[in-house]
Amino acid sequence: MHSQCFSILKGKGTPKFKNADFKQFIYDIEKLYKSCELCERKCKVNRFIEKGFCRATAKAKIFGAHAHYGEEPELIPSGTLFFAGCNLQCVYCQNAPHSVTPELGDEWSDRQIAEWIDKCKCKNINFVTPDCYLLNIVGALKNVKANIPVVWNSSSYYSEKTAELIKEIVDLYLLDFRYFDNKCATKLSSAPNYAEAAKRNHLIACRNGDLIIRVLVMPNHTDCCAKPILRWIKDNLGENTRVNILEQYHPAYRANKYPEINRRLTMKEYSDVVSYAKKIGLKNLV
């Protein structure tokens, strides 16, 4: 199993995008946009002229850009760019309405993104919900002068083609592993086959960069999702995998229509999941 060293975050080594073959890369991504398969939805729309499930176009829409001090300790300060629009539709989304209405974001050109990255003076550039915007991300990185590592902060519902492409530019994968049961994923995020996609993408990520996994514990989803996810991580990625078990869930957006998640997590639910992680031997919890 790949051992995570996080040396790129300590200023050792060169960020991957500095060695990327941008010409070929952009050609490949444009091809993917013309019949969009950036994520598991595989809408097959031409993103240059029409919209798929996520409603993102080929132009980057951003609703937040700042140095973030609330990320995992090794990442801060993290230069976070929040993309508007998302390929998941979580009924409890904390970033709605921007996540569901990309039109609410501000349009940024690739050059604007690059300039912001060059000026942000952070330890890394953290692309949040990047899945629908790979072309803009790569177009921006092509113009970035700073030697700054790239963080791919995603819900893990991107396609295998995207997973293969981003190996060229991503130094650290910051991945949500949200559901282990596809019934839960379908009901709460309209994401059938989420579990298979997330497993595959975590395995590819682990082989190709540093990895931090976020497990958001949700009420009444500890036995069907949180615990089996932790067990899978331990068995497939190893006991030293960096895992952040998040207790911050709160019902937002349309969660009031789903009684089982329409409350905060109890201390007992959270501590039970953390104890389980320790019991099965996960040693690198945030």
Residues that bind ligand SF4 (CB under 6 A): 36-39, 41-43, 45, 52-54, 56, 87, 132
Angle at CA of residue 54, ends 251 and 114, nearest 5°: 100
Task: Encode 180-209: b = buried (16+ Cβ within 10 Å), e = exposed.
Answer: bbeebbeebbebeebbebbbbbbebbbebb
CB closer to ligand SF4 out of 189 and 241: 189
Q: Is the Cβ–Cβ distance between 239 and 281 less than 8 Å? A: yes
Nearer CB in complex with ligand SF4: 132/206: 132
Binding string to Zn ion for residues 150 to 189, with x set by CB under 5 A, is what?
Answer: -------------------------------x--x-----
Provide the CB-side half-sphere exposure for 133 (13 A, CA).
Answer: 30
Q: Which does 39 bind (CB under 5 to 8 A by kind): Zn ion, ligand SF4, none?
A: ligand SF4
Which of 27, 48 has the CB closer to ligand SF4? 48
Q: 36 is in the binding site of which of ligand SF4, Zn ion, none (Cβ under 5 to 8 A by kind)?
A: ligand SF4
Cβ proximity to ligand SF4, 36 vs 273, nearer residue: 36
Out of 225, 230, 255, 273, name the contact with Zn ion by CB under 5 A.
225
CA dist., res. 202 & res. 224, Å (int): 19
Contact partner at residue 125 from ligand SF4, Zn ion, none, CB < 5 to 8 Å by partner kind: none
What are residue 235's phi and psi, to 5 degrees? -75, -30
* Rounded alpha-carbon distances, angstroms, from residue 87 to 163, 178, 272: 15, 14, 31
CA–CA dist 111, 119 (Å, integer): 12
Output 87 or 126, the one with its CB closest to ligand SF4: 87
Inter-residue contact 72 to 246 (CB < 8 Å): no
From Zn ion, ligand SF4, none, which one binds at residue 203 (CB under 5 to 8 Å depending on kind)? none
Residues that bind Zn ion (CB under 5 A): 181, 184, 221, 224-225
